[in-house]
Amino acid sequence: MNKIELVIFDMDGVLTDTISSWKYIHEYFGCSNERSVDEYLKGKIDDMEFIKRDATLWKEDGKPITRDRLVDILSDIPLMRGAEQCINALKEKTYIL
């Protein structure tokens, strides 16, 4: 029998109470990525180009945001009920998360 060593979660709607963390960030900065979404869905751009375009939209005081600032913004998204307890229980059992 295989022993479980690693647990992986999706964030949006599983650990965090939001449908889309990307949408949350765009709303936070008051911008839209609809054009990029359309081009991505039509296969005109790949994942990396889509991400790069999104990141160029996220600015404060006219400057691109840092990774730390992005983490700070995302930390404001409320957790799903029981998510923190679940994570803590898995950590106590020494699972890799």
pLDDT in tens, 12-50: 999 999 999 999 999 999 999 999 999 999 999 999 999
For residues 26 and 32, the answer to whether their CB atoms sit within 8 Å is yes
CA dist 48 → 19, 39, 40, 44, 78 (Å): 21, 13, 10, 12, 27
The two three-digit tokens of residue 52, written as one number: 């790069």
> Does 69 lie in the same domain as 55?
yes
Q: What is the predicted pLDDT for the residue at 4? A: 87
For residues 38 and 66, state if they share a domain: yes
The confidence score (pLDDT) of residue 88 equals 97
Calculate mean pLDDT across residues 86-95.
Answer: 94
How many distinct structural domains can be found in the chain?
A: 2
pTM > 0.85: no
Give yes or no: residues 27 and 71 share one domain: yes
Q: Are residues 83 and 72 in the same domain?
A: no
Considering the domain architecture, whether residues 35 and 67 belong to the same structural domain is answered as yes
Residues forming beta bridges with residue 12, ordered by sequence position: 16
Q: Domain residues for 88? A: 1-17+79-97
